[in-house]
Homo-oligomer: A and B are copies of this chain.
């Protein structure tokens, strides 16, 4: 009655709920119990509508202020409406936009590299793993997986599944309009080389339905009619307040989430015949999102 995926799921979601419950219990009559879900700021929330369904992206201006500014401006200008995902490589990335990344069609300005930022003690940082294979340390800041190098006082968003980043050419300062969503095993060798500016918080199953391009053709879909299209891209704040859905993500700053991480690190369920190594892959820690009326 406790098959693996069940247990695994439990450890991903239900245990999390249980741990929140434990916090509620352990904090007893205290009135300062942290919220379980955090509502997203409509100014930093993108609704990407496709025939396949709705995808919600949370923008991260703290890590990529100029990229977010440009992406919001392009969105408000209706730049992305009707464009397609033209380079889609299964297990890797789905890249969309006007295809200017393949040529010089666009008039949009270039955006400088925003590959990492200075460490700040004010971050609501939740430590996950040190050392990590790709960085001295990993953690989560406000729902976003990050990697950190304490020796240089730097921190950066890391290429987990669902991350959204700008494509560019060889020049590090050549991000423009076209973006990609990671749809496979985290390609972390790209870290500190791309302007990551958001993450999918809802609708990754929709993203996974995006039509793939040919493996032996650079993933490029030659016939545009065959590609998956962006029906509409808009900021949640552009939608009249009475029509807006609310978007929530798991609050990664509280004791409940800390407990979840601890439980994942020390799996004590009798399901585990062999004790898993006491390490965590920051890209395999779920930070769920949900939408409501």
Report the Cα distance A133→B162, complex, angstroms. 22
What does the 1/0 interface line of A59-90 toward B look like (CB < 8 Å)? 00000000000000000000000000001011
Q: Which residue of B lies closest to A88 (CB)?
A: B205
Instruction: Report the minimal beta-carbon distance from A178 to chain B, rounded to whole angstroms.
Output: 7
How many copies the complex holds: the figure is 2
Q: How far is the CA of A223 from the CA of B240 in the complex (A)?
A: 35
Interfacial residues of chain A within 178-202, with CB under 8 A of chain B in the complex: 178, 180, 183-194
Picked from B169, B204, B215, B286, the residue with its CB within 8 Å of the CB of A290 is: B215
Main secondary structure of the interface of A (DSSP, over half): loop
Interface size band for A: 35 or more
Instruction: Check if A167 sits within 8 Å of B3, measured CB to CB.
Output: yes
Q: A109 within 8 Å of B by Cβ?
A: no
A268 → B minimal CB distance (Å): 12
Residues of A near any B CB (own CB < 8 A): 1-6, 8-10, 12-14, 87, 89-93, 95, 101-102, 113, 115, 129, 132-135, 160-162, 165, 167-170, 172, 178, 180, 183-194, 204-205, 208-209, 212, 215-216, 218-219, 264, 267, 270-274, 276-277, 279, 281, 283-284, 286, 288, 290
